[in-house]
């Protein structure tokens, strides 16, 4: 049986392990927290630091293949493992490009992939040279996630909230829609593309509010988005699962925002919504089986279950019964013992042929399900 490891033991690892049950594979997780969402669901849990060379190398050298659930891992160790014959998903070369937003933007430019105009800044004071470039978005080169590491700079007075570290300053796009397309790439280069997802963001939290699949897009935006997503993933030249996040602007231009070289939040609906989920698909790739069917079974909406403001501590889910009473609604709790404001604690997928029903239920869920801390 193949031995496959995952760096990181959060919810992505957890849902990967759920899908692994169907296949002949021995699973390994490395993670610092022995109580992380996936630590008790794998065959072998190894406590370790995914950013440390020795830890990642020693973990990986016993494996046939290794993947990641977060980009923030030790790439040098993955390069060493790849040189020694462990198959790494994605390839370390692709991970290196994606891990740093400066490298990512330069990669798009080099390959003529449409993306918002940008300049690279090294320090906060350098931003003063780019006042004419505003309104813009300042993004930390490495270390940011889920909107942390992103600052909107609309006017000169906002510059003080920028980053005093290597970063990219991107022209602010007049966004009409944010979409994501997940693409699977097999070891032989064959690709399978999932239908696009419409991601609706909460402007205050800079976090996903809900997402709908398939996204309703003007036909030419749809074709452009698919072509761009396939092109950029092909240029990365690596097997694995890739989520390509894009902006469609008011003039129907499609621009790449960023890529995740792994299973991604924008593909969670695929567990119930598509014949082969993104998690199932990654196992097919890593175990060298044929790619699965990416078509939807039914349209879906997805709501993330997020820790409520002012609640920190042992978690309780308020309103769960109400959600579980709804038809064609699927609850996923990630098994995190503690909540804190903004923490991703789970998600809910809704299936329906009626867009109105999807939106109605998504709103109902957002208004009745709350993640709180026990009050004692």
H or E element, residue 160: none
| Site stretch for ligand ADP (CB under 6 A), options 13-21, 23-31, 141-149, 286-294 | 141-149
| Interaction of residue 257 with ligand ADP, rule CB under 6 A | yes
291, 186 Cβ separation under 8 angstroms: yes
User: What's the rounded Cα separation, in Å, for the pair 257 and 120?
Assistant: 16
Tokens, residue 251: 């003039």
CB of 101 to ligand ADP, least distance (A): 7
Residues 178-207 touching ligand ADP, rule: CB under 6 A, are 178, 201, 206
Q: What is the largest CA-CA distance in the chain?
A: 59
Tokens, residue 229: 């997503």
Q: How far is CA 207 from the centre of its chain?
A: 12
Residue of 48, 114, 143, 144 interacting with ligand ADP (CB under 6 A): 144
The answer to whether the peptide bond before residue 355 is cis (omega within 30 degrees of 0) is no
Helix (H, G, I), strand (E, B) or coil at 53: helix
| Site stretch for ligand ADP (CB under 6 A), options 16-24, 48-56, 167-175, 272-280 | 167-175
Size of the site for ligand ADP (CB under 6 A): 19
| Interaction of residue 133 with ligand ADP, rule CB under 6 A | no
Residue of 258, 312, 313, 317 interacting with ligand ADP (CB under 6 A): 258
| Interaction of residue 249 with ligand ADP, rule CB under 6 A | no
| Interaction of residue 173 with ligand ADP, rule CB under 6 A | yes
| Interaction of residue 147 with ligand ADP, rule CB under 6 A | yes
73, 9 Cβ separation under 8 angstroms: no
CB of 133 to ligand ADP, least distance (A): 11
Residue of 14, 105, 139, 336 interacting with ligand ADP (CB under 6 A): 139
| Interaction of residue 51 with ligand ADP, rule CB under 6 A | no
CA distances from 318 to 207, 270, 333, 371 (A): 21, 26, 13, 6
User: What's the rounded Cα separation, in Å, for the pair 230 and 251?
Assistant: 22
Binding site for ligand ADP (CB under 6 A): 116, 137, 139, 144-147, 149-150, 170, 172-173, 175, 178, 201, 206, 245, 257-258
């Amino acid at each position: 049986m193949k031995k496959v490891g995952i760096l990181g033991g959060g919810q992505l690892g957890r849902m990967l392990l759920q899908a692994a049950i169907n296949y002949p594979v021995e699973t390994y997780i490395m993670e610092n927290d022995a109580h992380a969402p996936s630590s008790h669901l794998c065959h072998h849990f190894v406590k370790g630091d995914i950013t440390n060379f020795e830890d990642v190398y020693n973990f990986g050298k016993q494996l046939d293949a290794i993947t990641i659930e977060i980009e923030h891992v030790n790439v040098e160790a993955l390069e060493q493992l790849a040189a020694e014959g462990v198959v790494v998903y994605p390839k370390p070369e692709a991970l290196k490009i994606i891990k740093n937003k400066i490298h990512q933007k330069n990669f798009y430019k080099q390959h003529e992939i449409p993306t918002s105009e940008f300049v690279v800044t090294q320090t906060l004071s350098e931003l003063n040279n780019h006042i004419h470039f505003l309104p813009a978005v300042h993004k930390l080169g490495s270390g940011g996630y889920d909107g942390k590491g992103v600052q909107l700079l609309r006017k000169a007075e906002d510059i003080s909230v920028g980053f005093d570290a290597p970063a990219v300053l991107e022209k602010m796009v007049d966004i009409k829609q944010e979409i994501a397309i997940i693409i699977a790439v097999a070891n032989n280069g064959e690709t399978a593309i999932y239908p696009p997802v419409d991601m609706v963001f909460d402007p205050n939290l800079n976090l996903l509010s809900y997402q709908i699949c398939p996204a309703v897009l003007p036909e030419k935006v749809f074709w452009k988005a698919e072509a761009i997503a396939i092109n950029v993933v092909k240029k990365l030249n690596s097997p694995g699962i890739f989520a390509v996040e894009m902006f469609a602007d008011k003039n129907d231009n499609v621009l790449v925002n960023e890529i995740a070289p792994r299973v991604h939040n924008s593909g969670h609906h695929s567990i119930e919504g598509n014949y082969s989920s993104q998690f199932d698909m990654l196992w097919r790739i890593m175990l060298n089986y044929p790619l699965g069917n990416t078509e939807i079974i039914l349209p879906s909406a997805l709501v993330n279950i997020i820790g409520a403001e002012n609640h920190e501590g042992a978690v309780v889910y308020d309103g769960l019964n109400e959600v579980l009473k709804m038809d064609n609604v699927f609850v996923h709790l990630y098994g995190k013992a503690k909540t804190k404001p903004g923490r991703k604690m789970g998600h809910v997928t809704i299936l329906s042929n009626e867009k109105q029903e999807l939106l109605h239920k998504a709103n109902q869920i957002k208004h009745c399900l709350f993640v709180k801390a026990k009050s004692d």
